[in-house]
Structure 1
Amino acid sequence: MNRIKAFGAFWYDFVVGDDWHVAALIVAGLGLTAILTHVAGVNAWWLLPLVAFAALGWSLLRATPRK
């Protein structure tokens, strides 16, 4: 049981890391891309890199000190 718990803790730390907001935005971006692709028939490959770039920028903006 300890190995299963350690494996789960590793993946949680790897995916979520220090900022769960970024992980939530990436999951939302994956979901929105899937919905646009499968339901609306839109070629939405470009959406996930855009969401990832925006999430990274937002995370850096929150992490850097203001002057």
Structure 2
Amino acid sequence: MAWLRKFFAFWYDFVVGDDWRAAVAVVAALAITYGVSRTGAPSWWILPVAVILVLPLTLWRVARRQ
């Protein structure tokens, strides 16, 4: 059972890392991309826009703590 706990702890730390808000934003962007792709509309632009929006906010939050 300990190896299972370590396995999930690794993946939680890998996905969430230091900023859970960024992880939630990535999951939301992936879900929105999936939803838009199911309509037949172009969805390639959603993830780059999400990165352009989320990355500066994440960096600003970290820089503010320093």
TM, length-normalised to structure 2: 0.89
Q: Which runs of 5+ in 2 are unaligned?
A: none
Please say which of residues 56-65 and 12-21 is displaced more in the overlay.
56-65
Query: 1:37 aligns to what?
Result: 37
Q: Aligned-pair RMSD on alpha carbons?
A: 1.4
Percent of residue pairs bearing the same amino acid type: 43
Q: Which runs of 5+ in 1 are unaligned?
A: none
Query: 1:54 aligns to what?
Result: 53
CA distance in 1, matches of 2:51, 2:24: 11
Residue pairs, 1:19-34, within 5 angstroms: 19-34=19-34
CA distance in 1, matches of 2:28, 2:64: 27
TM, length-normalised to structure 1: 0.88
CA distance in 2, matches of 1:51, 1:30: 9
Deviations 1:22-58 (A, max 9, x none): 00000000000000010x2112112112202311111
CA distance in 1, matches of 2:63, 2:19: 14
Residue 2 (str. 1) matches residue 13 (str. 2): no
